[in-house]
Chain A
Amino acid sequence: MDTKELLDLCSADQRDLDRRAALLKAGKTGLGMLFASLPFLSAGCAGIGKLVANDPKRATDVLNFALLLERREAEFYQIGLQTPGLVPASDRAVIEQIGRNEERHVVFLTTGITGIGGTPDTSTQFDHTGSGKFPDVFRDYKTFVKLAQTSEETGVRAYKGQAPFLMDSPTLLTAALRIHSAEGRHVAELRRLRGLKGWITDSEVTGTDARTYAGEGNTTHGGVNVSAVSKASNRALTEAFDEPLTRAQVMAIVSPFIRRTATTPS
């Protein structure tokens, strides 16, 4: 793939991109391979910049962690949308849009990892029942949306926690921030579908795993105890700031949804 093809991809229409995404998922094309050592897509085609990471191994590791979460989400929505009678017509536009965005995150991260000379890890397989804890995930829409909320919230917190590790590459950092806020949009709307506020109040327990909201009641940021300097209510103060999770914290929440296989790195 040369620069012209890369630019073509930038101008690809939605259907074409969906096709590429499907091909990539099916493993029928080495799209990711083709991006190797080429300039990387930056600013979502607003411009093409060089992807420079001072520590490509660490960057690859961070991006593969993101890819794991995105692959799980993309597959989750794909199965949900393909399950007859699961997603009601009233919510279909929302779920379809989220699913589409997640598929694109998978494509983007896959090409990005390859672009910095890394190998995308696509070996992990998923158990969307959470090792049997949610057997009705694709039968009961309420369970489906609740799990969706939990994984999107976890995703937002995961990207937030990893962003500082991408600071030596402006391109990677910006891409991660742009995925991070997209996940923030997703979860707000999913919460809305459930009749919840779009923002997290204190360490609420509205998802499927309390750990997803652990620490969200924090009101000290950047060394400033905001509750001491603000006239906003404590409720508003906790809603106004989201909190990061470490990779270990994220993996503890996600691990029941990962099916261990012989090829899965431990």
Chain B
Amino acid sequence: MSTIPPPTEQSALQAAIAWYAQLSSGEASEADHAAWQAWREQSAEHHAAWQRVEAITGKFEHVPGKLGMATLTPQKRLERRKALKQFAVLLAVSGTGWQAYRELPWQSWNADIRTAVGEQRTVALADGSQLIVNTDSVLDVAFSATQRLIRLHQGEIMVDTGQESGPYRPFVVQTREGLLTALGTRFSVRQTDGRTLLSVLAHAVKVEPQSAPEQAYTVSQGMASLFSAHGKITLSPLSPQASSWANGFIYADNLPLSQFIAELQRYRKGWLRLAPELHGLKISGSFPVADTDAVLRSIARTLPVRLTMFTRYIVLLEPRTT
């Protein structure tokens, strides 16, 4: 899927620049990575050229991203448009916002909420409900006179429903696989490929699969259920992981490293590549999702794992031979 010609004819430095552009694009495939590694090992010139690129990118390695951006690009004009879009939702939090909202005719209104990779955000909704939005998520809030609807397109949310005065409006989360109606207060929903994972922390939630509404079922407190558009796949006791993310942690209890890294990857841009020999290693503990660099370093300290970083995008985890 790579669109650039193999950079063999260009000078080594030109080629290194082209490789860097390809690897940082967010579109690099496994084949690209393999080709890049092969290129790098092809000759001393290639190796040296890549080292010069790393000397540049290495300057950025210990700069916290947000702080660096705020210092080096202090004008934030680009953010404004996005912020305006979210104004509708956030406005509802403040007193005047609430007033304005109550005075609107009851028509449906939409607002996009998006989080970047690694970002978690708490959003207060006009009815007093609270959403914690996990990394890399997209959703709409569509409240109407008759229901409070959240459309989860991607990612994960934790819902804490608020109590409204006035006529009851059901609180519903829609995923690609079906509808979840809150019969209580606190639950989390994760949209994955072709499946929805529901975890209920308080009271209960009714599930209506998209293509089989007659197979509706209720998941009660302390239980989690995975379902597809055609019905229930699993119903099992809640794992601590189901809610730890909402506090900013990945909780692991003797988890295979491969699963842990897959989870960590959700919070980190670029590539985490775990050598196959390491897949079965077990890991335990609570790890902050806000600092994935620190998590990786602690893995390298406590497990027989060696980290190799090629820019911020590619982190190789390989067996440490001592």
The judgment on whether A and B are partners is no
Interface residues of A (CB under 8 A from B): none
